[in-house]
Structure 1
């Protein structure tokens, strides 16, 4: 059933940088996989980030080339939409395609192609997980405003029109040193509506002593994301027991093993679910369901500078399930002024909301602008192995 597979890397310059405590990103680096079935093509994306999962773009590309699409195709029941999705969901893709971002690119491409072949939206794939009714929703959803480290919190919020400020439900603030975190939190609280929540993201830069020392000054914060170095399980548990500080795990939680350890250590109150770091659309959805069953809150996050399939698949999760404490949408419209997809990335910034995408699969197609910044590394056809592109 798989006719051909293409493997690409995308390197797209960003019109504006995005800074946090450990990195400054000025360009998109994504892995793209295109899968052709009978008459349709599906696109998938992975965002390898060494500081999150230890992956590199080259390493993730090599992982895709080590997988055998023919072996994958043999394990998929192509007869109906339901059978194809069920068999795809049963594949241990993180094992068959080594590395979460590589697995995400392959999985999203296959799901997109299957949905287009059967003329079904990506949201219908989620039925295979049999989610409890309490997590279901449909339609537009609120998204958070993220203020990165090089932006002054007061200036960003003061620049919003009154209506947009009043509509804010959640603001995530990137922080570095603890004293600066307290100051940036105070600036937000002075300006936001009383019912708006604020979270801080330290990107693993604080020590346990620093976090405990300022915890009392962070009263009312929705959570602090990754305050300590990743997987500091014992220290995180002690911090939460000593201070009651709500903690969200991001780099520390990329899959079910991390989630089990975090729950056993009482290391977190929330987790950040991002499709690429979790291994794909279904893997991220499963992780969110497991976390919700454990009583942990979930944020649906994004990797900075996702170029298309990742944010589109995330948009499906955001507008199909209502379990999210908050949803991040990214700022692809600002980073990439010339649209990379059809339809173009869009957020209603007056209401801080996003709506579902229409059409089969993820609902998007790559534009010439995206293709202009891609390089085909290899192709695969059923009569042979991967062939390196010229």
Structure 2
């Protein structure tokens, strides 16, 4: 008889070595949930990063939802279904369609990334082979250039001196349009016209002020503006596009497929920011990409600030499977977290600002000793309750 399957939940709130500031949030710690599934010797590791201002979810609401997920049924399906067949079903219908689950996007992402990772390990497949790739270019690129993000904690001159080479620049807007204009002007003066520049307002402008600000940013050299208005301001967004001619990328407004369809039907944007956690996992994220292609829109593969591991590699797997994204965000986990909770830590070549595919199998990561203190709940097959995980014993000098 096989050993009982197990799930362990980690709430990771690691202090960041440097903070990250933007109009919607100042972040100085991570806020992720990690889920480890162990079934008959195979392990899968998933992550979500709920943000209340994006989807309305928090780590508390996701944890509450996880308590109601019929994990024993999932364990039984993993055991009874040939791994390649189960992977095909998940790639088609996501974890929600495959197992009949309901819940917010981050809950589904947490489960889906863990299950895809487990199946990838069983089948010996890398991340890009686990995510749907309908409509994507057939050729896979060996490396991808990544964007650099200037948040409000960093001066533009220091950014330009230390963060190159530049392939794409995202500027987090301030509460002062004059500062934003000076920033864009300084970037254009240093980099010329060949590097795209996008300003991310994070929903901070009103319709009355946004017209003049978009026009001014356009004249200063910005190529796109991200989420300038309150989420879901479809008619006002369409008017902004028509009046200013500046391209608009939507992020917080496009969390679901229904959101994306509404954005397209309203003429509200030119591109989507696709993020695995926000969009409910790699499967829905891939469907959003295909919807963007059919509508003639562009798309970015983005990240949540302070992802800690599985989400980073799941997003990169999506990027390598869909190589026609106009830019890819790689995150800054190497700068934020000197002692990451996963090994090997997701890497960025800072000499070229490029990424290469994770080695696999699965999403190519395992938990290390730094993850242990963050374990909070454990559920064992046959026990319907999630049990608290005792705090680890202090490490002695011999084991430090």
Q: Could you state the TM-score of these two structures normalised by the residue count of structure 2?
A: 0.90
Contact 1:173 1:201 in 2 (8 A): yes
SS in 2 for 1:200: strand
- Which residue does 2:174 correspond to in 1? 176
- How far the C-alpha of 1:134 sits from its partner, in A, is 2.8
Q: 1:363 & 1:258 partners in 2: Cα distance?
A: 32
SS in 1 for 2:229: coil
Contact 1:136 1:323 in 2 (8 A): no
- Which residue does 2:185 correspond to in 1? 186
Aligned length: 381
SS in 2 for 1:324: coil
- How far the C-alpha of 1:136 sits from its partner, in A, is 4.7
- How far the C-alpha of 1:81 sits from its partner, in A, is 3.5
Residue in structure 2 matching 1:80, options 72, 82, 96 = 82
**Structure 1 residue 115 and structure 2 residue 114: aligned?**
no
- What is the root-mean-square deviation of aligned Cα atoms in Å? 2.0
Post-superposition CA distance 1:360-383 (Å, at most 9, x none): 1001112212333x13223131x2
Q: 2:243 & 2:262 partners in 1: Cα distance?
A: 19
- How far the C-alpha of 1:226 sits from its partner, in A, is 0.5
SS in 2 for 1:45: strand
Deviates more, 1:326-335 or 1:70-79: 70-79
User: Which residues of 2 match residues 255-274 of structure 1 at below 5 A?
Assistant: 255-274=256-275
SS in 2 for 1:298: strand
Change in 2 beyond 3 A, CA 1:210/1:61: same
Post-superposition CA distance 1:206-225 (Å, at most 9, x none): 11121211333222422101
**Structure 1 residue 158 and structure 2 residue 157: aligned?**
no
- Which residue does 1:387 correspond to in 2? 386
- Which residue does 2:105 correspond to in 1? 100
Q: 1:55 & 1:258 partners in 2: Cα distance?
A: 17
Deviates more, 1:363-372 or 1:232-241: 363-372
Deviates more, 1:82-91 or 1:38-47: 82-91
Change in 2 beyond 3 A, CA 1:337/1:133: closer
Q: 2:156 & 2:345 partners in 1: Cα distance?
A: 28
Residue ranges of structure 1 left out of the alignment (5+ in a row): none
Residue in structure 1 matching 2:69, options 52, 67, 70 = 67
Residue ranges of structure 2 left out of the alignment (5+ in a row): 390-400
SS in 1 for 2:323: coil
SS in 1 for 2:287: helix
Contact 1:41 1:113 in 2 (8 A): yes
- How far the C-alpha of 1:75 sits from its partner, in A, is 5.5
Q: 1:356 & 1:284 partners in 2: Cα distance?
A: 18
Post-superposition CA distance 1:115-165 (Å, at most 9, x none): 112222122223xx35125365232100000010121112210345xxx4x
Change in 2 beyond 3 A, CA 1:369/1:384: closer
Contact 2:136 2:321 in 1 (8 A): no
